[in-house]
Copies of this chain bind each other. A is one copy, B any other.
Amino acid sequence: MKQKSIVTYIDKMAFDVELNDHHFTIDASEKVGGENRGPRPKGLLLSGLGGCTGMDVVSILKKMQVTDYKLTIEVEGEPEEEYPKPYKAISVTFLFTGKDLPSSKIKKAVELSEQRYCGVSDMLKKAAELTIKIKINGEEL
Contact size class for A?
Answer: 35 or more
Q: How many monomers of this chain does the complex have?
A: 2
Instruction: Tell me whether B55 and A48 are in contact (CB under 8 A).
Output: no
Q: A75's closest neighbor in chain B, by CB?
A: B5
Residues of chain A at the chain B interface (Cβ within 8 Å): 1-9, 13, 15, 17, 19-20, 22, 24, 26, 28-29, 32-34, 36, 38-52, 54-55, 58-59, 70-80, 83-87, 116-124, 126-128
Q: A22's closest neighbor in chain B, by CB?
A: B39
A45 to nearest B CB, angstroms?
5
User: A43 — which chain B residues lie within 8 A by C-beta?
Assistant: 3-5, 19-20, 48
Instruction: Tell me whether A122 and B20 are in contact (CB under 8 A).
Output: no
